[in-house]
Structures are given as structure tokens and as C-alpha cells.
Amino acid sequence: MLTVYSVPVGIYGAKLRILLRYKRLEWREIPPPGGYGTDAYKRIVPSGNVPALDDDGLILGDSEAIAEYLNEKFPDPPMLPDDLHGRARARELSRFNDTRLEPEVRALFAQTAPSTRDTAVVSARAQAITARLSQLARLLDWYEPDSLTLGDCGFPATFEWIEMLDPALALNIEWPDPVRAYRRRLGRIDAVADEVASYRPVIRDWIDSKTLT
């Protein structure tokens, strides 16, 4: 069975679980021994990253590498379009989430506790997220797959974080209509809906633990 090292609140763990659910794979999820980034864990996963995969001794420590690997190993249902351009677009979209949108959201995690919040940082990050969502709207213009792809899996968790951090930090994020429509379309896919339903309370608890102190 596939073993996934992950932590419940990990955003890329949620990304990976959407793929695992969509492909109807069986997996067990365990915490990284010693915690992520520790020497104990780095003896297993050199980068110390979560999520990581152990597939019968093959250790992979990055959600994107894991997604590409699982899509090749378990090709049904396929999660990359048939055509060259479609595959390139799906990969572009996935990297846009991982390297552009999500890091802007993550930068807010350190701002959730009211006692250490810097409102200038929050305001700058909120503007950056709105700008990224507007860039995403343009990327979606070029992207019309008829089923879930590797390019989609990271966004549902990122969108949930944006939505749930917004009232906590008064972000006033502007969601372009194409992004709203994209989010609704993803939410109609069982693997996404099931993951979001189980992940939302984890986000809620994390935000409450920071803000209700």
C-alpha cells in the first residue's frame, strides 16, 4: 500500500489526497517521524518535505513529483489531457498554484495571531492574492479540460484557505468571476468535494487556535 507522510493541516497533503481520491487508490497517511524538517525525518526523506510518498521503498518528497509519478503508475483515470498543449497548460496551472498563488497565502499564516499581526504585511499580501487571482482568471481562459487534471489538484485547498482567512484577517479579496466558476466546477467533482469537506474543519481549528487566544 502507498504510504504518505503528511501533517493534517498541510496544504500540499490536501492537494495529494485529491489525486489519491480521484484515482481511487488506497493509501495510509502517517505523520513524519520526529516532525517535518527534523533530522529523524530527513533520514527517510532527504528534503524533510511533507507530503512525501513511500511506494514500496521509492521515496519521493514533493507533491508535484508524486502526482506525476502516480499518474504514470496508475493511468486510469488519466489526469493529463491527451494533447501536448493541454498537458503543458495543466502543468503551468499546477505550478502557478504552487509557486505563485499559494506562497502569497502561506505568507499570511504568520499574521493570524492578533498579538503579532503586522497590518501592513496583511494588506500587501491581500493585494498580492487579489492580483494572483486575476492572473489565474487569465490563465483559465486557455484551459478547458473536460475532467480533473494534475493542474487542478492544488487549487481547492488554496481557495479554502483564502476564503477562511479572509474574515479572520479582513482581507477583502476580490474573486474574479472565472475563478469563482472554476472553483464551483472543481467542487462538483466527488474527490474534490470529499477532500474539501474533511479538510475545512482542520483549517477552521488551526485558524481558531491562532485567533482565539
Ligand X SMILES: N[C@@H](CCC(=O)N[C@@H](CS)C(=O)NCC(=O)O)C(=O)O
What's the min distance (Å) between Cβ of 106 and ligand X? 8
**In the complex, residue closest to ligand X by CB:** 63
Task: Identify residue 166 by its one-letter amino acid code.
Answer: D
12 contacts 95 by C-beta, under 8 angstroms? no
Distance between CA 188 and CA 31 in Å, rounded? Answer: 30
Residues in CB range of 140: below 8 A, 6 or more apart: 93, 178, 179, 182
Distance between CA 84 and CA 118 in Å, rounded? Answer: 45
Q: How many helices (H) and strands (E) does the chain have?
A: 9, 4
Closest by CA position to 89, among listed 159, 12, 150, 22: 150
What's the min distance (Å) between Cβ of 146 and ligand X? 26
What's the min distance (Å) between Cβ of 210 and ligand X? 15
Site residues, ligand X (CB under 6 A): 10-12, 36-37, 48-51, 62-64, 98
Residue closer to ligand X, measured from CB, 48 or 145: 48
89 contacts 140 by C-beta, under 8 angstroms? no
What's the min distance (Å) between Cβ of 39 and ligand X? 11
What's the min distance (Å) between Cβ of 29 and ligand X? 14
56 φψ region: left (φ > 0), alpha (ψ -120 to 50), beta (else): left
